A and B are shown apart, each in its own frame.
Chain A
Amino acid sequence: MNRRNFLLSLSAGLALAPAAGWALDNAGASRLIDTLVKDINGVIESGKGETAMFREFERIFARYSDTSYIAAYAMGVEARRASNSQKKAFSKAFQGYISRKYGRRFREFIGGRLEVTGVKKVKKWYEVDTVAYLQGQAPFKVTFLVSDRSGQDRFFNMYIEGVNLLLTERTEIGAIIDRNKGDIDKTIAQLKTLG
């Protein structure tokens, strides 16, 4: 089982960048992912310090993913009792947490490539199937979910070898909230230090 792959591939997902006017077809998606790999490698090869790199990844994440959906999903039912300012703070802290947690692993992506194998429409979103080829390991499947819910094409989830990344993060966030005895403010404060 490719637990490693699943973490690695988030790297790709974080930066999956639906450019303006992107028509979702195989060629467009393939081009997009090629750009993504180049962008990631660009940040890695820039030789910046780790902190600066995390900021870059956070920027990429904020720009190309449906951050409000991702934060809402990750918070799960706990969101019902959260105030709007808590939700906002959580969303921001979560973005930083994700960028640090997966940004540290972008390095492993050097020399890798993602190949788009198909795009299909499911309900109101698109699933982009890809195969990831990373150095020194067997190829594995990564599926990106893209929607225009927010008015723009953004990715909102990804599956690596069947592992739903958002569901995994929601489980983790739930555990952190439990550890803080349900205190949302403490959870947010702790998220800022994790990842």
Chain B
Amino acid sequence: MKMKMRATLPALMLIAATLVSACAKPTSEQLSEGTIADPNEQRNRAVHEFNRGVDRFAFRPAAKGYVAIVPPDMVTSFGLFAENLSMPGQAVNSVLQGNFKQAGIALSRFAINTVFGIGGLGDPASDFNVPRVDTDFGETLHVWGVGEGSYVELPFFGPSTARDTTGLVVDFFTNPLGYAKNTPVDDIDIYAEVVRRLGDRGTYSDTVDSILYESADSYAQARLIYLQNRRFDLGQTSENSEIDPFELSTEGF
């Protein structure tokens, strides 16, 4: 079961990743203009339609049911549980990024929340002012100088880039917990992650709906929002990117 899950799930991602060609690094000018490299737009749009169908008929109803039945505090707890399980992997990525302090923080969080947070359902680490950690192998690649590459919309996973898709696959196989022998349930990290995503979809239902179903071009909206947010998380947001408000012609408006 374990091998099967670990082998089949990322297959789609691998296919998507290999379909995407070289990772061209966007210039700072492109970043500041919010330029998007999307040479596979046609295919991505097809995947987007597929994802919308999956969301409309399966994920959205399931998520709505989940947050309707399960109390909000428990939804939060299950989200924290999944986050906690990702901490060992995030510690590995922090080391690979040369950020040993962050690696220590990730491991501290894992230890504190596992022991004092009922196996990770609570977040006492934050009460002790241990900062949150949020990294992945996509960020590691970024630190190593790999550009984001082309935009990709992955089946089931949604917006990504060539680089971050590679990161997703690597993270999937390198989560130390995936190889732990004494976890209570095989692939518990995968199930926890699915539950966490379900909770997020349910909690942020209105916002996700407005992007997916109320926008004139939900593909373009999702792409733009994902890329800007991702670049911001990686500290790539270049300053002074705003059009000078004194230079835009507002005559007539």
Q: Report which A residues bind B (CB closer than 8 A).
A: 1-4, 6-8, 66-69, 71-73, 75, 79, 82-84, 87-88, 90-91, 101, 105, 108, 122-125, 136-138, 145, 147, 149, 156-157, 159, 161-164, 167-168, 171-172, 175-176, 178-179
Q: A69-B245, A84-B251, A172-B215 are in contact. List 5 more A-B contacts (CB 8 A).
A: A7-B210, A124-B244, A145-B242, A164-B228, A172-B220
Please, how many angstroms separate the alpha-carbon atoms of A4 and B226 in the complex? Answer: 12
Q: Is residue B237 contacting chain A, with contact meaning CB distance below 8 A? A: yes
Q: Which of A71, A124, A164 has the most CB of B within 10 A?
A: A164
Q: Which residues of A contact B127 (CB under 8 A)?
A: none
Q: Which residues of A contact B183 (CB under 8 A)?
A: none
Q: Which residues of B contact A3 (CB under 8 A)?
A: 204, 207-208, 211, 225, 229
Q: Report which B residues bind A (CB closer than 8 A).
A: 34, 72, 76, 132, 203-204, 206-208, 210-211, 215-217, 220-221, 224-226, 228-233, 237, 239-246, 248-253
Please, how many angstroms separate the alpha-carbon atoms of A43 and B163 in the complex? Answer: 45
Task: Find out whether the CB atom of B207 lies under 8 angstroms from the CB atom of A156.
Answer: no
Please, how many angstroms separate the alpha-carbon atoms of A124 and B210 in the complex? Answer: 34
Please, how many angstroms separate the alpha-carbon atoms of A108 and B205 in the complex? Answer: 12
Task: Find out whether the CB atom of B253 lies under 8 angstroms from the CB atom of A90.
Answer: yes
Q: Which of B206, B225, B229, B240 has the most CB of A within 10 A?
A: B225
Per DSSP, chain A at the interface is helix
Interchain nearest-CB distance for A78 vs B (Å): 12
Task: Find out whether the CB atom of A172 lies under 8 angstroms from the CB atom of B253.
Answer: no
User: Given that A6-B225, A172-B215, A172-B217 are known contacts, is A136 also in contact with B253, CB under 8 Å in the complex?
Assistant: no
- Contact with A168, one of B203, B224, B231 (Cβ below 8 angstroms): B224
Task: Find out whether the CB atom of B245 lies under 8 angstroms from the CB atom of A66.
Answer: yes
Task: Find out whether the CB atom of B245 lies under 8 angstroms from the CB atom of A147.
Answer: yes
Interchain nearest-CB distance for A152 vs B (Å): 13
Task: Find out whether the CB atom of B253 lies under 8 angstroms from the CB atom of A87.
Answer: yes
Task: Find out whether the CB atom of B204 lies under 8 angstroms from the CB atom of A136.
Answer: no
Q: Which residues of A contact B242 (CB under 8 A)?
A: 122-123, 125, 145, 157
- Closest residue on chain B to residue A195 by CB atoms: B214
Task: Find out whether the CB atom of B246 lies under 8 angstroms from the CB atom of A149.
Answer: yes
Q: Which of A1, A87, A101, A125 has the most CB of B within 10 A?
A: A1
